[in-house]
């Protein structure tokens, strides 16, 4: 799955100090706005992340690059009539699944929410086991048009009466990584209720993406915007993008590949204990390792990494489908002769402050740094990092019906030159590297992932080592 995104449900576990500060400060809720009458569209301004995704989509409109993807394998008898009813209820519940976008006469992007009762078709097809991979790829790669199309696609690939692959694709303008888990869990709950003759068990959602967009845009039109610009201008002054030396020119082409390496359980356990001892998080521990890897491979001591920040720490948004993220630029200074623990302390300190100033949209940061929007965005976000939990979809969703995650969906797109994710799930922890084929060969990408795993193993064994010791000099 892409993302970007992020968790973002799991990655909304901010570090303990930041959470403690937030808990001591009462935050006003996001108000729910009035909707149009029955049968009419409701129009809201687009959020800043939706504007970004609109722009990114139109850089390569014929390529389904900016999407989130999920899938489940269903074992047991599936009633597609009940599933279609559950899917219709899901679309009624989440306004994002009924949203498309358009520009107004001034060129401002709007989100247009179709009324309750708008139907998004549930797609089905019979496929052979030999053809299922190609069939899933066709579902994923079919482009969306955010100005015309429904921006969610759910297709059931029937391999037999008791074996199905369900493929979920959502445009990134209406989704983040947590969205796939929410959709799958809500759909499972609705299917279980309807197959038992019961009504929907799901409570009404407090707010929807349109409410967040209005609230967020109002906050960014006040004096706080200036404070945010000042913070990020100081924080990123003189920052130079960094990435491992490439094998090709890179660029904005979407063709990519993904590889996965497992991290031993004992290494992960030691890293979690290290985070606990140093009042940190696994995100900070693994981010520090990536800063070191990039510095070693590039020879550059001033390192910049992009990460998605989730707004889902706000309780109103926890179970709502939508794109509730921003992209933050996290900088580390590895000059001098730091130990790994020195880097971790610095990353912890900066991450707390950066997360507290998370609301400035990426494009505003790019503008404040006096860079051209598209080129500056590509240049500054060449490397993305997340540490997250994969959605747990091992659910009983009906009589004799069991779901398990499909982690091997075919995907050959990359949103940037290099993205490295550390994901934890029921089957263990993996390093997942997605790269543009125009920038890195598969062999180079594997070397990067393997070096990163080796570095995590060394940190787990003894985190006191010097980052640029004799055998570690780039």
> Is the pLDDT reported for residue 26 higher than 70?
no
- Tell which residue, 23, 55, 454, has the closest CA to residue 264: 454
Tens of pLDDT, residue by residue over 210-227, are 999 999 999 898 888 999
- Mean of the pLDDT values across residues 269-282? 96
Q: Nearest 10 degrees: CA dihedral of 115, 180, 140, 401?
A: -100
Q: Give the pLDDT confidence score for residue 392 in this predicted structure.
A: 56
Residue 411 confidence class, pLDDT cut points 50, 70, 90:
confident
Confidence of residue 252 (pLDDT cuts 50, 70, 90): low
Residues 6+ apart with CB under 8 A from 110: 43, 44, 45, 46, 101, 102, 103, 104
- Dist. CA 189–CA 241, nearest whole Å: 45
Confidence (pLDDT) at 254 = 76
Q: In the chain, where does the domain assigned CATH 3.30.559.10 lie?
A: 10-208
What are 445's two structure tokens?
A: 């990408």
Q: What is residue 129's predicted lDDT score, i.e. its pLDDT?
A: 93
The pLDDT score that the predictor gives to residue 62 is 79
Could you report the per-residue pLDDT of 359-393, keeping only the tens digit for each?
Answer: 999 999 999 999 998 889 988 998 999 998 765 55
- Using DSSP's 3-state secondary structure scheme, residue 385 falls into strand
**47 — pLDDT class (breaks 50, 70, 90):** very high
Q: Provide, rounded to the nearest whole percent, the portion of the chain with pLDDT above 90.
A: 71
Where do the CATH 3.30.559.30 domains begin and end in the chain? 212-390+411-461
Q: Are 376 and 219 in contact (CB under 8 A)?
A: no
According to CATH, what is the number of the domain 10-208? 3.30.559.10
pTM for this structure? 0.88
| Mean pLDDT of the region 468-472 | 70
Write the Ramachandran bin of 161: left for phi over 0, alpha for psi from -120 to 50, otherwise beta: alpha
Sign of the dihedral through C-alpha 422, 53, 332, 376: positive
- Average pLDDT over the chain reads 89
Q: Show Cβ contacts of residue 131 under 8 Å, excluding neighbours closer than 6 positions.
A: none
Which two structure tokens, joined as six digits, stand for 50?
Answer: 């939706």
Fold of the 212-390+411-461 domain: Chloramphenicol Acetyltransferase (3.30.559)
């Amino acid at each position: 799955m892409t993302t970007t995104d992020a968790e973002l449900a799991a990655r909304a576990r901010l570090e303990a100090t930041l959470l403690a500060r937030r808990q001591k400060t009462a935050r006003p809720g996001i108000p729910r706005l009035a909707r149009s009458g029955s049968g009419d569209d409701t129009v809201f301004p687009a959020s800043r992340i939706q504007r970004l995704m609109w722009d990114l989509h139109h850089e390569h409109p014929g390529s389904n690059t900016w999407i989130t993807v999920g899938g489940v394998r269903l074992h047991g008898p599936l009633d597609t009539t009940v599933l279609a009813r559950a899917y219709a209820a899901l679309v009624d519940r989440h306004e994002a699944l009924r949203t498309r976008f358009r520009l107004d006469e001034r060129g401002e992007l709007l989100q247009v929410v179709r009324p309750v009762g708008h139907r998004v078709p549930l797609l089905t097809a019979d496929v052979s086991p030999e053809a299922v991979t190609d069939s899933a790829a066709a579902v994923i790669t079919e482009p969306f048009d955010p100005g015309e199309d429904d921006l969610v696609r759910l297709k059931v690939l029937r391999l037999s009466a008791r074996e199905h692959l369900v493929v979920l694709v959502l445009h990134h303008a209406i989704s983040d990584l947590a969205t796939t888990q929410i959709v799958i869990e809500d759909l499972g709950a609705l299917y279980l209720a309807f197959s038992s003759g019961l009504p929907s068990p799901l409570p009404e959602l407090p707010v929807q993406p349109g409410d967040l967009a209005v609230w967020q845009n109002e906050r960014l039109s006040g004096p706080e915007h200036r404070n945010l610009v000042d913070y990020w201008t100081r924080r990123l002054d003189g920052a130079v993008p960094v990435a491992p030396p490439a094998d090709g020119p890179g660029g904005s082409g979407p063709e990519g590949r993904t590889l996965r390496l497992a991290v031993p359980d004992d290494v992960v356990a030691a890293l979690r204990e290290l985070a606990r001892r140093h009042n940190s998080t696994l995100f900070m521990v693994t981010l520090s390792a990536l800063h070191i890897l990039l510095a070693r491979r590039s020879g550059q001591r001033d390192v910049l990494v992009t990460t998605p920040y989730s707004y889902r720490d706000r309780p109103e948004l926890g179970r709502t489908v939508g794109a509730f993220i921003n992209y933050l630029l996290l900088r580390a200074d590895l000059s001098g002769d730091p130990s790994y623990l020195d880097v971790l302390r610095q990353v912890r300190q900066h991450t707390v402050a950066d997360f507290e100033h998370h609301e400035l949209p990426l494009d505003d940061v790019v503008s404040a740094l006096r860079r051209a929007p598209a080129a500056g965005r590509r240049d500054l976000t060449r490397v993305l990092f997340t540490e997250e939990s994969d959605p747990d979809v091992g659910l009983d969703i009906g009589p004799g019906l069991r779901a398990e995650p499909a982690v091997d969906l075919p995907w050959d797109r990359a949103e940037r030159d290099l993205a490295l994710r550390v994901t934890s799930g029921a089957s263990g922890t993996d390093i997942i590297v997605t790269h543009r084929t125009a920038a890195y060969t598969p062999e180079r990408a594997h070397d990067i992932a393997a070096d990163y795993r080796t570095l995590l193993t060394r940190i787990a064994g003894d985190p006191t080592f010097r980052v640029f010791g004799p055998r570690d000099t780039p």
